[in-house]
Chain A
Amino acid sequence: AQSVTQPDIHITVSEGASLELRCNYSYGATPYLFWYVQSPGQGLQLLLKYFSGDTLVQGIKGFEAEFKRSQSSFNLRKPSVHWSDAAEYFCAVGSTTSGTYKYIFGTGTRLKVLA
């Protein structure tokens, strides 16, 4: 079955420290992969996406993610976290089933940033 796993429910880092959020997927075909961020009380904003090509993709707000097919992973990274990065982060895979298109989301990782 298709699925997305975000193993870390909560992560706490100090401001200025590096960050890595993990995402593993299970999908039979070439995946379309996404990371979204949700600030408290807000909707979801796209951070970055991978469709094909270079496996290291750059996104907004200084985030990047690396697609590793052999590990079925699409981990999100940021070299230096800012207090404004505190939010919830969702990984998703785009799935085509019976010719239609939908997303499968992970359960999210909530990031706390210490001053």
Chain B
Amino acid sequence: DAGITQSPRHKVTETGTPVTLRCHQTENHRYMYWYRQDPGHGLRLIHYSYGVKDTDKGEVSDGYSVSRSKTEDFLLTLESATSSQTSVYFCAISEFLETQYFGPGTRLLVL
């Protein structure tokens, strides 16, 4: 299995609070991605990174920001959590034009 970890694995928070999810890889892959998974929507891309400090928006980026200061870490921040951001969040890694490998996921509940 690809070396990808996500932390925390579960989180409960309140509306309006900031939340940061961490993705850590040991594979030295160039690309890192954040997705959210919701019933009926499959996986939707939030943000992705194609190198240190190089990031771009996905299809559902509103309310989220990311940072990548090191190759191995990709942080996803919910600036002010809302109930609509209750979801399962997956991190993935890949090289250019190669297979994506996924982390175990983080379950986030916003009350």
Contacts and interface: CB of A to CB of B under 8 A. Distances in A.
Nearest to B33: A102
Interface string B68-111: 00000000000000000000001010101101111111000000
A105 B50 CA distance: 19
A102 B45 contact: yes
Interface string B29-45: 00101010000111111
A62 to B, nearest CB: 19
A56 interface: no
Interface in A26-70: 32, 34, 36, 42-46, 49, 51
A101 B94 contact: yes
Greatest chain A CB density within 10 A among B94, B102, B103, B104 is at B102
Interface residues of B, number: 25
A105 B42 contact: yes
Contact of A103 (B56, B100, B104, B105): B100
| Chain A contact residues, majority secondary structure | strand
A46 B99 contact: yes
A100 B105 CA distance: 24
Contact of A107 (B40, B45, B92): B40
Interface size classification for chain A? 20 to 34
A45 B105 CA distance: 12
B104 A101 contact: no
A74 B105 CA distance: 27
B97 A101 contact: yes
A46 B41 contact: no
